[in-house]
Amino acid sequence: MNETGAVISLWSEAVRDRKDAVLATVVSVEGSAYRRPGARMLLVEDGRRVGSVSGGCLEGEVARKAWWLTDKGVPALVRYSTREDEDGERPYGLGCEGVIHVLLERLRCEDEPVEPIRFLASCVAQRRAGVLATVIGSVDPSRARVGDRVTLDADGRAGGRLPDAALARSIAARAAHCLQRGASEQVAFGGARARVDVFLEVVRPPRTLVVFGGGHDAAPLVRLAKELGWHVTVADARAHFARRDRFPGADEVVVTDRASPLAGLAIPPEAACVIMTHSVDQDRALLRALSTVPVAYVGLLGPRRRAERLLAESGARTFACAGGLHSPIGLDLGGETPEEIALAILAEAQACLSGREGRSLRDRPGGSIHLPAESAGAVAL
């Protein structure tokens, strides 16, 4: 389960147990930081917590202050600097040389459903992206207050309430721009006397992995993908392989039709598809079917010579997916065991889905391990 899923799950438990909670969200970062904007941690009043806002050094500090800072139910924006001070000390023991802004919000169990948990849960359940726009600074409370929100779902429906309706419309329009680009950003709306700072976060649903093949080596691939929080479907034309008891962690286990191997499967455009049936007939049919499907990643298990023969026999010359067919599948990690091969496959799929090359971070130009965060200038209203 990934962080978002864990936060949603713990909040459901807190509501069931009639316990309040505090949600801590990284909303802005200056310089370097271990976690980026959108990282979350949920603290329940009985001591349970999930998620993180740093590499492990800020969590205790946040937990100590979160309750009294939000005691009146008003969201609080807290600034944590990890830069070296005048005495050469590094606060909190971090060496990231950055400033992290964390939004703390009291969630009361009697207020369920509550934002932003409700919106996050909706994106996860529907497996569709959305934008959560959160006010993180406001000069004029009559326009907006820290913690106010506007939401935008994948169908363009806006939600949330702000005192200033015109501002809400402007934020929703900017959210649509973020959703189209698939990138979060921080935007300042209005002039100096009416400035409202907003963190527009693109909320992405769990990544989708479709594993074609229910053999022994598919099991570690499914387990590792679920550990990463992916939505995993296992599909095989052989009913004795496509069994729920063989893949208890998978979200779906489907017995497919040999003649129409994709029939009955919901494969979104951002999905990663892995062909590992070890069956020549199934692999051939799957290559033919997947060659025209615009997904994010298609990989085929097996040696290059086998792949070339199957491609020739299937008539699949080109693939609609980004990057074409990946075969031999996976990054060159020196894997031998099914578990090591699963790691190599998921690493390559993760890189492709993230628009990365899968090379060593040491060799990344510019020194930064993250894509540059976007911060837009003021938008006049």
Distance between CA 369 and CA 34 in Å, rounded? Answer: 10
CA gap 119, 115 in Å, rounded: 6
Is the domain of 48 the same as that of 79? yes
218/333 same-domain check: yes
**Would you say the C-alpha torsion 7, 10, 16, 22 has a positive or negative sign?**
negative
Tell me, what's the pLDDT at 193? 85
What's the domain range around 166?
128-205
Instruction: For residue 271, give the nearest of 199, 350, 344, 365 by alpha carbon.
Output: 350
Same domain, 100 and 220: no
State pLDDT tens for residues 294-344.
999 999 999 999 999 999 999 888 888 878 999 999 999 998 999 999 999
| pLDDT value at residue 365 | 75
229 and 155, same domain (yes or no): no
According to the model, what pLDDT value does residue 321 have?
A: 85
What pLDDT score was predicted for residue 237?
96
Same domain, 214 and 187: no
| Residue 65 exposed, middle or buried by CB count within 10 Å (0-12, 13-18, 19+) | middle
Residues 6+ apart with CB under 8 A from 124: 4, 5, 8, 205, 206
pLDDT at 296: 94
Q: How far apart are CA 252 and CA 52, in angstroms?
A: 29
pTM of the model: 0.83
Digit-coded pLDDT (tens) for 209-254: 999 999 999 999 999 999 999 999 999 999 999 999 999 999 999 9
Residue 345 lies in a domain: yes
pLDDT at residue 357 in the model: 86
**Do residues 247 and 342 both lie within one domain?**
yes
Same domain, 212 and 253: yes
The angle, 0 to 180 degrees and rounded to 10, between the axes of the packed helices 3-16 and 117-126 is 120
CA distances from 288 to 258, 282, 301 (A): 12, 10, 15
Residues of the chain with pLDDT under 70: 83-97, 366-381
